Structure 1
């Protein structure tokens, strides 16, 4: 069965690091999402995002989409299918609103992990090391919303505390085993 692991949580909680770990360690394929924002210097089209124009963005069928900082972001059905063509286990990083949409539309195929930390200071420390957009994202409406797991997701997501990496890996592996996503262990 094709499965999708959704990682959601506040900016700085470690979603991208966990996604990268799953791709490297367990060969999860990443669902590549779409955006109308320009590529940053190190980003590669089709690998980091599908970079779209305003017009081309509208042509896709999205599970979820959001406007952030005047740019459109979304995850398409085609992007999910492409990830599943590479591996039966795919991973995607979303905000909690997007996570809820996937959980509602693909309940049998999704496993949701809400990534959090034990103190707000940890988040602040992590986003301070990013470029200006890190702090801005944490202070955004979406970032503030994602500081807590929404009521609608409480019974759909497993909470994973990401304070210390080695413990996070152990807890993540427990979640994967419990949900039948670790056949390579």
Structure 2
């Protein structure tokens, strides 16, 4: 297991499905020049998702083979699809870039916090129930998937009190602005220009 050094950090974006955590993470990462460690999944890409940009999309056989080789530090199953983070990917990216980010559910965020302690900064992104419902419908999610996500909403929301930072994502531009400013001031100290 790779041990993170003093200046090495991992930001973990988490929160309920449909809150926009992936979009916020990607825009914040781009603004701050931070690279993402991608998860592996056996699910099919959604429209507009790309292999190597949103996830590493792999077959169940490929996933199981990697799992048998103990390559994952975290594996979960949701709706029959497997998701995992490879330990070597985390180590390689942190060694190369110093600070990286991941987009994970609360279980993944908790696992990384247990493994890496204070070097993990959890950023909870949320929106109210109605906003999430509307976003998932607009995204074209199936009613079954929407119902399952909505049934988990309160459980997911409860995790926000354990996270280091919490942002309500109602206006994407404002969320990204506030978040990048907070991360820069508290951790990165890159002195981003405040164009307010």
Q: Residue 123 of structure 2 corresponds to which residue in structure 1?
A: 113
Q: Residue 172 of structure 2 corresponds to which residue in structure 1?
A: 165
Q: Residue 111 of structure 2 corresponds to which residue in structure 1?
A: 101
Normalising by structure 2, we get a TM-score of 0.79
Selected match of 2:8 from 2, 17, 24: 2
Q: Is the 8 A contact 1:114 1:159 kept in 2?
A: yes
Q: Distance in 2 between matches of 1:12 and 1:32?
A: 18
Q: Flag structure 1 segments of 5+ consecutive residues without an equivalent.
A: none
Count of aligned pairs? 182
Computing the radius of gyration over CA atoms, which structure comes out larger, 1 or 2?
2
Moved over 6 A (4+): none
Q: Residue 124 of structure 1 corresponds to which residue in structure 2?
A: 133
> Superposition RMSD on alpha carbons, in Å?
2.6
Q: Is the 8 A contact 1:96 1:146 kept in 2?
A: no
Q: Residue 136 of structure 1 corresponds to which residue in structure 2?
A: 145
CA shift for structure 1 position 112: 0.5
- Kindly provide the CA deviation profile for residues 14-71 of structure 1, in whole angstroms up to 9, marking residues without a partner as x: 1111111123211111011112234557554444333244332312432221111212
Q: Is the 8 A contact 1:113 1:157 kept in 2?
A: yes
2:123 counterpart SS class: strand
